[in-house]
Amino acid sequence: MPEGDTVWNTARVLHRALAGARLTGSDFRVPQLAATDLAGWTVRESASRGKHLLLRLDDPGARSWTLHSHLRMDGAWRAYAPGERWSARPAHLIRVVLRSSAAVAVGYHLHELALIPTAEEESLVGHLGPDLLGADWAPDEAVRRLAAHPEQSIGEALLDQRNLAGVGNLYKCEVLFLRGVSPWTPVRAVPDLAGTVALAQRLLAANRGRWTQSTTGVLRRGGTSYVYGRRAQPCRRCGTAIRKEELGERVTYWCPVCQPERE
């Protein structure tokens, strides 16, 4: 599931493949950019902000641009060596190809693909709360934003990228299990918001640099989570069957014993 850590890792892959490179060609397979040609442009850097990817480039006139993309549930970028087979996903999912003499970056099933002046980046990511994996991570501000909506369920509040940027459904479920908080708890009744936010940051940060997302410390298949994806399986702490239900627009997983309802 692409969450903040996956997007951070993806930004690093793109940075290693393309930063400093002059592009020799591009191929956009989305209508809004079909006529765009980035040949001769230079890639400055690749960065992530929450779940948004920002590839920053300079055009031949030295103006700064940002190619924005969002992975949502199913998007991905892959870097290949020139001549290597593009094996990650089916070709019909390709939305953009960026070529340099040393690498080819292929974006699959990307969302919100847009090329904008870097000076206007904030129009796409300015609404985001503090980035859990950003150099400017500001936990106090994340807590303040969460606390501003006291009646919202903590399960929905953690997913709202305007509060803090980077938590998706997997980390939401896992953080709340580890804190012993039901996802339906209103924000005002969460015993330690600062501790919850700090734990979310630690869990994401621990998975930087690897593609397996584990909150248990176990990397083998079937052992990577406490509750996420484990409906009807026994809770690793108390043995109760893990439950799965809709919460807002997303499903949530939780242990009814370890995460009692609070008011």
Q: What are phi and psi of 2, to 5 degrees?
A: -70, 105
Is 172 catalytic? The answer is no
CA angle, corner 84, sides to 80 and 88, nearest 5? Answer: 60
Q: Tell me the C-alpha distance between 28 and 38, whole Å.
A: 10
Annotated catalytic residue, options 2, 95, 130, 145:
2
Measured from the CB atom, the residue of 72 and 236 that comes closer to Zn ion is 236
Q: Tell me the C-alpha distance between 211 and 86, whole Å.
A: 19
The owner of tokens 């919100």 is: 112
Measured from the CB atom, the residue of 73 and 218 that comes closer to Zn ion is 218
User: Contact positions toward Zn ion, by CB under 5 A?
Assistant: 235, 237-238, 240, 255, 257-258
Measured from the CB atom, the residue of 37 and 261 that comes closer to Zn ion is 261
SS3 170: helix
Q: How far is the CB of 206 from Zn ion (least distance, A)?
A: 22
Annotated catalytic residue, options 22, 29, 237, 250:
250
Is 51 catalytic? The answer is yes
* Cβ count within 10 A of residue 201: 23
* Cβ count within 10 A of residue 255: 24
Q: How far is the CB of 212 from Zn ion (least distance, A)?
A: 23
Q: How far is the CB of 243 from Zn ion (least distance, A)?
A: 10
Measured from the CB atom, the residue of 123 and 240 that comes closer to Zn ion is 240
Q: How far is the CB of 176 from Zn ion (least distance, A)?
A: 12
Residues with active-site annotation: 2-3, 51, 250
